[in-house]
Amino acid sequence: MIRKIVTIDPEKCNGCGLCVPSCAEGAITIVDGKAQLAADNLCDGLGACLGECPQDAIRIIEREADEFDESAVDQHLKSAHAPSVPAKPHHHGTGCPGAQARSFTAQGKESDPDRPEEKGTSRLGQWPVQLHLVPVSAPFFQDADLLIAADCVPFAYARFHDHFLAGKAVVIGCPKLDDNRFYLEKLTELFRVSSIKSITVVRMEVPCCGGIVMAAKQALAASGKDIPFTEVTVGIQGDILK
């Protein structure tokens, strides 16, 4: 049938993922760093996602497409919210022995992070750190200050361990390469089941990195929790922008 449906220009799309959580039907996903329709029958053609795209890559057009199917949407959303979400192959799967949740004492002293002698000591106190791999019920999330970091940040910001990681539980991810809807769902569950005391999101200045902030904010709202929230932006040359 000919009907209105969303179209996404891959040349304009930068993979920021801001459109993903705006689609209540879950019709948009990020694949290979670009937003695309998961299936025609999941898109209602109303365009709630249009205003979320900073690149103006989304339009409503009329073309031959499968009819919008609410039952397919319900099944799709139930599948997406399933308790056990399989890890992507490139993350080696949750069955990997290296993904076993572990807590340990972070190295370094609890002192001024600006002291030169403190440079070079790891502040990591847990394993794993990838958002795809961490179990939301891991003990290191209980009564924790949570750091959510875009995975380019530690490479750009030289004092990441001392200035951000020290004393915090951490999860990392890349909203451009992964499905931002997964981030939204995983973080919502994490906030609901864990007694997180504060949330700090550290992102890069590039537009696509805004997706991880959006996912964290929407997850916090969906969780019903009132947790102090801080956002920090790191420049690609390693400076703190805000």
Query: Would 67 be classed as within a structural domain?
Result: yes
43 & 94 share domain: no
Which of 24-38, 65-79, 93-107, 227-241 has the highest mean predicted lDDT (pLDDT)?
A: 227-241
Residue range 85-112: average pLDDT?
50
Query: Over the stretch 46-73, which tens digit does the pLDDT of each residue have?
Result: 888 887 788 899 999 999 999 999 899 8
Same domain, 129 and 27: no
* 116 in the same domain as 76: no
Mark whether 200 and 124 lie in a shared domain: yes
Same domain, 74 and 95: no
Q: Cα–Cα distance between 209 and 151 in angstroms, integer? A: 10
Per-residue pLDDT at 46: 87
pLDDT per residue as tens digits for the range 201-211: 999 999 888 88
Q: What's the domain range around 107?
A: 89-234
Report yes or no on whether pTM surpasses 0.75.
no
Please report whether residue 239 resides in a domain. no
CATH code at position 64: 3.30.70.20
Look at the chain and report how many structural domains it folds into: 2
Residue 242 counted as domain residue: no
In terms of domains, do 75 and 118 share one? no
Q: Choose the final residue of a domain: 80, 114, 149.
A: 80
Judge whether 63 lies within some domain.
Answer: yes
Residues 49 and 130 in one domain: no
Share of the chain above pLDDT 90, in %: 52
Q: How high is the pLDDT of residue 22?
A: 75
Average per-residue pLDDT in the chain? 84
Report yes or no on 143 lying in a domain: yes
Q: Express each pLDDT in 152-177 by its tens digit.
A: 999 999 999 999 999 999 999 998 88
For residues 20 and 66, state if they share a domain. Answer: yes
Q: Domain ends where: 80, 108, 124?
A: 80
HEC assignment per residue over the chain: CEEEEEEECCCCCCCCCCCCCCCCCCCEEEECCEEEECCHHHCCCCCCCHHHCCCCCEEEEEEECCCCCHHHHHHHHHHHCCCCCCCCHHHCCCCCHHHCCEECCCCCCCCCCCCHHHCCCCCCCEECCECCCCCCCCHHHCCCEEEEEECCHHHHCCCHHHHHHCCCEEEEECCCCCCHHHHHHHHHHHHHHCCCCEEEEEEECCHHHHHHHHHHHHHHHHHCCCCCEEEEEECCCCCECC
Residue-level pLDDT at 124? 94
Whole-number pLDDT of residue 73: 87
Shared domain for 51 and 169, answered yes or no, is no
Q: Do 156 and 57 have their domain in common?
A: no
138 & 72 share domain: no
pLDDT over 70, % of the chain? 83
Same domain, 128 and 194: yes
Kindly state whether residue 240 falls inside one of the protein's structural domains. no
pLDDT of residue 81: 52
Last residue within a domain, chosen from 57, 80, 103: 80
